Amino acid sequence: MTSIAARELWLALLVGLLVLMGCVVQASIGSIDGIPHHRIFLQWIAVSAMAAVVVRLIPYGFVLRHAPLIYLGGLLLLILVQLVGEVRFNARRWIVIGGVSVQPSELMKFAFVIFWARVLRHERAAKGLRALVLPGLALALPVALIFRQPDLGTALLFVPTALAMLLAAGMPRGQMVKLCLVGVLMSALGYGLLEPYQKERILSTFQRERLTAAEKAREGYQLEQSIRSIAMGGVFGQGFAEGVQNRMKMLPFRHNDFIYAVVAEEFGFVGASFLIGVVLLLTVTILRVGFQVRDESGRLLCVGLGVLYASQSFVHIAVNLGIAPTTGMPLPFVSAGGTSLLTNVCALALVSSVARRPRRVVGGGSLREQLMRLEALLGRRKPRDEATARVAGVGADGRFRGPGVRTSDRVAPRPDHF
């Protein structure tokens, strides 16, 4: 019980720390074009906190049971975006509901992870390529819709998440390699489908020295300013609200897509490295929850959410550092953007829910293991050795200590009621 509480506390602390950093940096940036993002950010924190409490109270099994509905809801919203979405910055990504702008692709990322966690929970689902038809379809549809918005960055986030979940679901190595090869091939073919500005962004990242001044001013401008902002930071940064680039408003989208550059400018190498450290720590914590949980669905959920979070964070930082093509990717918990904050906090609440309710699966494992567990539970038989006891989840005295290690969950009883 203590370890469970510690995991939850640790998660809450890390998320709180990131949100606090977000508040500080947003306050440092202040209003942009008359929009007080820092105040809006605070409002969304309050909303997200309330939503997190609600999600935390819902058993994640309930969420998993309704995964298809959640997924279809997300898909519907994505289709709605195509029909009635609002165009900003030449992209149709938002729909306005009751005066509030919502970005359905942010919701869809998590809906996808939840859906896949449910679909891949059966061991056979990840063992054969044929069994991947339904999950593949579930992946392709949202990716295509998001790609069409266009939001290439978000669309590509699905790929590492899906691969990690397949990895966690036990897909054989050979099939993983084949899948990766297919992915690489499709990426090469997909390059031709990119818009000219997207190609220019890719070039501006990897061939900065070759760009003309006009090209730099067009597509490489943000990247150039981002790198300059980071370089201005030095070891300890220029201090809160003292960043020259920030105060002179040289960096566009510094409140969301380039917030890491502001962190690096104002808090220097120390602050920026610290932020990377916190991101890594949170990722490790989420994955450790998945590591410790005994339920296949919960484990996949944690892996999916953890990798999704890590991918988005690292891609954001990589874009800011100029080692990935520029794409509109906010830094979770730090960047402005209500939908992003809300969904990320809810996702963490879901992970917390998984951590709080490790699902012991009595029916898992081989017949022998099951019998041993049952006998141990009934106190009829002591384990013959320590290894067997660990597998059966019983102590050396033969008393039940907790859920054992299962080998499969073909017979899955209801959670929380053993």
Partner 1 sequence: MSSTQIVFERRLGRLLFGFAAVSVLLILRLGQIQFVEGAGHRKAVEEDRVETIDLPAGRGDILDREGRPLARTVDGYSVSIFPVQFRESNLVDALQDVLCALRPDLITWPIKKAPHELIPAVEARLARYQRLYEAAPRIIPALLSTPTSAFRFDALDLDDLAERMAPVTWPRNELVLPRSKLRYRVVDALVQMAGDERLDTRSALLASWSRSDRLGQALGTDAERCLARLDEERRDLQLLSDELVGGDWEEFLQRLFLRERQDIRRQERRIDEVLHDRVALGRFGTHDLTKIDIAERQALADELGLPNAEPEAITAVWSEYSGLDPAECDPEDKARIEHVVAILEGRAVEALDRAERIAVATALGVWRDDAEALKRALGRRELADSESNRREHLSVEKEWARRLQFKGGVPYQLFRGATFDVACRVRQSFGLSRLGFRVRASFGREYWRDEDGVGVFLLGRLNAEGVPLGGLEAAFSHVAGKPGPIIGTPGVLRRRREPDRGLTELSGSSPPIPGETLRLTIDRDLQQRVEDCLEELLAANPGAVGSCASVIDLATGDILALAQAPRVNGTQWHERWLADAVRTRRRRAALAAARRGGAVAEDLDTLLTELSVEADRNPAYDRAADAGFYTRYPPGSVVKIFGALLLLEKDQAFQPDEVVPTTDRGPVDLHGALVKSSNVYFRHWLKDMGRDAVVSWYESFGLNRPVRWLISPASARARHQVAVGPESALINVAIGQGSLATSVLEVSNMTATLARGGQRREPRILKSVGGREEPLFPPETVAFSPTSLDRVREAMIEIARNKGGADAVATRLAAKTGTTELKGAWGDLNNAYSAGFAPHDAPRIAIAVSLERTPRSGTATVLTLARIAREVLLPAHEGTQR
Q: Tell which residue, 204, 210, 242, has the closest CA to residue 223.
A: 204
The residue to which tokens 């929970």 are assigned: 121
| Amino acid type, 323 | I
User: Residue 51 Cβ, how far from partner 1 at the closest point, in Å?
Assistant: 27
* Residue 176, SS3 per DSSP: helix
13 binds partner 1 (CB under 8 A): no
* Residue 183, SS3 per DSSP: helix
Q: Residue 27 and residue 64: Cα distance in Å, rounded? A: 38
Kindly write down the DSSP assignment for every residue of 1-39, as one continuous string: -HHHHHHHHHHHHHHHHHHHHHHHHHHHH--BTTB-HHH
Cβ-based nearer residue to partner 1, 190 or 277: 277
> Among 4-12, 131-139, 184-192, 312-320, which window interacts with partner 1 (CB under 8 A)?
312-320
Interacting residues with partner 1 between 223 and 262 (CB under 8 A) = 227-228, 230-235, 242, 244-245, 247-250
Number of residues that bind partner 1 (CB under 8 A): 52
What is the dihedral sign for C-alpha 323, 164, 68, 182?
positive
Q: Residue 290 and residue 11: Cα distance in Å, rounded? A: 13
Cβ-based nearer residue to partner 1, 139 or 287: 287
> Among 68-76, 113-121, 211-219, 321-329, which window interacts with partner 1 (CB under 8 A)?
321-329
Omega cis (within 30) before 332: no
Cβ-based nearer residue to partner 1, 101 or 388: 388
Choice from 318, 375, 401, 413 touching partner 1 (CB under 8 A): 318
User: Residue 313 Cβ, how far from partner 1 at the closest point, in Å?
Assistant: 10
User: Residue 242 Cβ, how far from partner 1 at the closest point, in Å?
Assistant: 8
**Under a CB-based contact definition with an 8 Å cutoff, are residues 217 and 225 in contact?**
no
**Under a CB-based contact definition with an 8 Å cutoff, are residues 161 and 304 in contact?**
yes
**Under a CB-based contact definition with an 8 Å cutoff, are residues 338 and 213 in contact?**
no
Residue span 291-310 as binding mask against partner 1, x where in contact by CB under 8 A, dash where not: x-------x---x---x--x
269 binds partner 1 (CB under 8 A): yes
Residue span 154-193 as binding mask against partner 1, x where in contact by CB under 8 A, dash where not: ----------x--xx-x-----------------------
The two tokens of residue 243 are 């960043």
CB atoms closer than 10 angstroms to residue 66: 14
User: Residue 266 Cβ, how far from partner 1 at the closest point, in Å?
Assistant: 12
47 binds partner 1 (CB under 8 A): no
Residue span 354-393 as binding mask against partner 1, x where in contact by CB under 8 A, dash where not: -----------x------------------------xx--
Cβ-based nearer residue to partner 1, 58 or 396: 396
> Among 54-62, 284-292, 337-345, 355-363, which window interacts with partner 1 (CB under 8 A)?
284-292
Kindly write down the DSSP assignment for every residue of 42-67, as one continuous string: HHHHHHHHHHHHHHHHS-HHHHHHTH
The two tokens of residue 367 are 């017949």
Q: Residue 184 and residue 179: Cα distance in Å, rounded? A: 9
Site residues, partner 1 (CB under 8 A): 34, 123, 164, 167-168, 170, 227-228, 230-235, 242, 244-245, 247-250, 264, 268-269, 272-273, 276-277, 279-280, 283-284, 287, 290-291, 299, 303, 307, 310, 314, 317-318, 321-323, 365, 390-391, 405-408
